[in-house]
Amino acid sequence: MVRYDNLRKDIVLICSSFSIRVEVFVLTLKDGAPGDTFRIQAVGDSDLKQRLMTMGLLPGTKVAVLRSAPFGDPMAIRVRSYNLALRREDAAKIEVQKIS
């Protein structure tokens, strides 16, 4: 997975040096709908990164999306047998792979 990540970054870099814009779709926790379960691939840099990791969100951790607040944001997830609420803009920093 790590190797694939690097490859992806390299492709984007090479293309951009030729002024070609490449949009790579990266699945993040933000895109999760209630009932989805994911495995975390990476936690992106942000002010919240270390706090998210401390709360148990690490590469490899399984998370399940529980629900959204009435206007779609924040979202509630189940991680390491407890429930956590976070805003979608922060969830967008968490790269995931869908399990089911």
Partner 1 sequence: MSTLAIALTGNPNTGKSTIFNQLTGAHQKIGNWPGVTVDKKVGYLNYNGRAISVVDLPGTYSINARSPEEAIVINFLMNNKMDVVVDVVDSSNIERNLFLTIQLLEKGVPLLIDLNMQDEAKLRGMNVDARRLEDILGMPVVETVGRSGESIKKLLDVFTTTIMEQYRPSELLEHHIRHVEELGRSGKPQEEIDEEIIAARYALIDQIVEQVVTVQNLGATRSEKIDRYLANGILAPVIFLLILYAVFQITFTWIGQPIADALDEIISGPIAKGAAEFLAGIGVADWLQSLIVDGVIAGVGAVLTFVPLIFILFFCLSFLDGTGYMARVAFITDPLMRRLGLTGKGVMPLMMSFGCAVPAIMGARALDSEKDRMTSILITPFLTCGAKLPIMALFAAMFFPDNAANMVFLMYIIGVVMAVIVAKVFGSTLFKDKGSTFLLELPPYRMPDMRSVLIETWDKGKGYLIKAGTIIFVASVFIWFLSNYNMAGPTEEMSESFLAGLGGAICTLFTFHGFGTWEAGAAVISGILAKETVVSTMGVLYGVGGEIDADAAADEAETFLNSGMGAAFTSLSAFAFMVFSQLYTPCVTALGTIKKEAGGWKWMGFSAVYMFAVAWLVSLLVYQLGSLLGF
Length of the chain: 100
Least separation, in Å, of the C-beta of 81 and partner 1?
6
Contact window for partner 1 (CB under 8 A) among 2-10, 13-21, 25-33, 80-88: 80-88
Are the beta carbons of 71 and 6 closer than 8 angstroms?
no
100 binds partner 1 (CB under 8 A): no
For the chain, the straight-line distance linking the first and the last C-alpha, in angstroms and rounded, comes to 19
Least separation, in Å, of the C-beta of 98 and partner 1?
21
Q: Which of 62, 67, 98, 99 binds partner 1 (CB under 8 A)?
A: 67
Are the beta carbons of 32 and 96 closer than 8 angstroms?
yes
